[in-house]
Structure formats: C-alpha cells, structure tokens
Amino acid sequence: MDERLDEQKIETLQGWAEGLLRDERSELRAAAKAILLLIEEIEHLHVDLWHAQDQESAEIVPDVPEVPAPTLRDALARRLRAAQERWS
C-alpha cells in the first residue's frame, strides 16, 4: 500500500480543511489552517524538487575532456608541419 501523498490525497486534505474552516470551534479552524499551511509547504517542496532535478540534469556533462578550439595560427602551423612531413 502506497502511503505517499499524491494529488488525490492532497485534494482530500484540502476539502477537509475547507470544511473545518467553517466550523464554529476555534480549535478546528486552527487545525484547518495548519492543514492548509502544510499543503502549501508540500506544493513549494514539489516545485523546489522539480527545479533541483531540472538543474541537476542541466549540469550533467559527459566525461569528455575539454579540447580548446584551435586558433587560426595553430591550424596553419599544423598544416605546415603536415605539408613539410609529406615533402621530406
């Protein structure tokens, strides 16, 4: 049995809290406000988790050594060496 709070369970809690808010007893209204605060915090945590996962996936870089882009001078020097090796 999965005891995690899914969207349906959170909606059920929201309904209970809204019902308790209409009660004349202050203890039950306070409980309703606490439930609503917890639901809001859960939603913020879901957003934070989503952002963290998104950022983590963006930071994953393949383990390939970084090779600097050759400058024009480097490219020409390499071609010159290759041409000299062919002529010798």
| 36, 44 contact by CB (below 8 A) | no
Question: Distance of alpha carbon 82 from its chain centroid, rounded?
Answer: 49
Print pLDDT tens along the chain (88 aa). Answer: 567 888 899 999 999 999 999 999 999 999 999 999 999 999 999 889 888 888 877 766 566 666 676 777 787 788 888 888 877 6
36-38-43 Cα angle (round to 5): 95
Give the three-state DSSP class for 38.
Answer: helix
Indicate the DSSP class of residue 3.
-
Question: What are the sequence ranges of the domains in the chain?
Answer: 1-61
- The number of residues in the chain equals 88
pLDDT at position 20: 96
Q: What is the CA radius of gyration of the chain?
A: 31
Q: Which helix (H) or strand (E) holds 27?
A: helix 26-59
Nearest of 9, 60, 66, 70 to residue 38 by alpha carbon: 9
